[in-house]
Amino acid sequence: MVFLHGRDSIQGCQALQALFIKSPRYALPDPLFAEPGLRYTSSMLQLSTMLINRPVLSLRTGTEVAISVAPIINPGNLKIEGFYCQDSRSKQQLVLVSQDVRDIMSRGFIINDHDQLVQPSELVRLTPVLQLNFSLIGKPVVTSSGTKLGKVGDYSVDIESMFVQKLYVSQSIFKSFNNGNLGIDRSQIVEITDKKIVVGDLTQKVNAGARAGALA
């Protein structure tokens, strides 16, 4: 299963589902890359580890209604469409759609009320994405020429748009000692499959301080 960036955009998840059935290759809808001229500040970015196991708080009652468990990532555009959450009342796994998140603060996710947590079966539009069950963490990263870079250890998300902006690749101990951590911008991604992520041969080396900057 391959997701490619190309000129032909997938219009909505229904088109994605149709392609999923008919073809082993998929076009990534534009934009895969950041919008021209758009600059992301550190305050707009959060590491994925800061978005899981976080309280979901009701603005109406001021109480915790759930805990975020895992992001729901659309591999077609690397957008977090929502989050699986554990309901504080029933302990069921429900879904919080990203557009229903009013804010993400140090205390957790802020939503209007508990009724914005829904059963996955109710989200017909997101069914194709839910069925893919795509995850970035642990995904092998290789270059176009076949060089193995490591595996995705974390990634940063623009909390305004919920698009993944940068991948942080964990390397072997030897490579990490010699070259440092690798930060890969979304614009460097060439191909995404269910097995690996292919990037351009030029990668950006970042130190641990740059990675921590996404938390600011």
Give pLDDT, residue 109: 97
Give pLDDT, residue 181: 73
Give pLDDT, residue 180: 59
Give pLDDT, residue 151: 94
Give pLDDT, residue 18: 39
Give pLDDT, residue 183: 92
Give pLDDT, residue 56: 98
Give pLDDT, residue 175: 58
- In sequence order, the 6+-apart residues with CB closer than 8 A to the CB of 68 are 51, 52, 53, 54, 55, 56, 83, 84, 85, 96, 108, 109
Residue given tokens 């990634």 in the structure block: 155
Query: Over the chain (216 residues), what is each successive 10-residue block's mean pLDDT?
Result: 40 38 38 40 78 96 96 96 96 97 93 96 95 95 93 95 95 57 92 94 52 49
